[in-house]
Amino acid sequence: MGESRSRAAWASLLTGVASVAALPVAIYGTRFSDSYDLLHAGFAIPIAGGLAIAALAFARKATRRSSVTLASRAPGIAIAGRVLGIAGLCIAAAALVALGVYGLLEYVGSRD
C-alpha cells in the first residue's frame, strides 16, 4: 500500500511538471519552425489540461489513504504534484482565454 501511494505521488509530481511545462515548450518550439506559428502552440492547451487533471488524480490517489509511516515522503510529493496540477490547469485556462480573445479580436478586425 505504501509503495503504490509513493508511486502515485511521484506520478503526480511528474505529470504536474509536464503540465506546467507543456505550453512553454510548445511556444518555444515555434521559434525554430517556419511552418509552426504561435497559434499552432494552442494545440498544446488540451495536453496541458489533461496532464494537469492526471496530476490532480494521482495526488488524490496518493493522499486518499492516510497511513502513518515515519519514513514516507509521499504526502509532501503529492502536495507538490497537486500544486503543480493546479498551476497547470491555471496556465491552460489562461492560454485558452488568450486564444479566445485573439480569435475575437481577429473576427472584429476582419469585419472592417
The pLDDT score that the predictor gives to residue 49 is 96
Provide the 10 A C-beta neighbour count for residue 70.
Answer: 4
- Could you report the per-residue pLDDT of 41-60, keeping only the tens digit for each? 899 999 999 999 999 999 99
Residue 39 binned pLDDT confidence (cut-offs 50, 70, 90): confident
Name the nearest CA neighbour of 2 among 73, 79, 82, 81. Answer: 73
Single-letter residue type at 107: Y
Summary mean pLDDT of the chain: 88
Provide the 10 A C-beta neighbour count for residue 97.
Answer: 10
pTM of the entire structure? 0.85
Q: What are phi and psi of 75, to 5 degrees?
A: -60, -40
497547470: which residue's cell? Answer: 88
Nearest-angstrom CA–CA distance, 55 and 41: 21
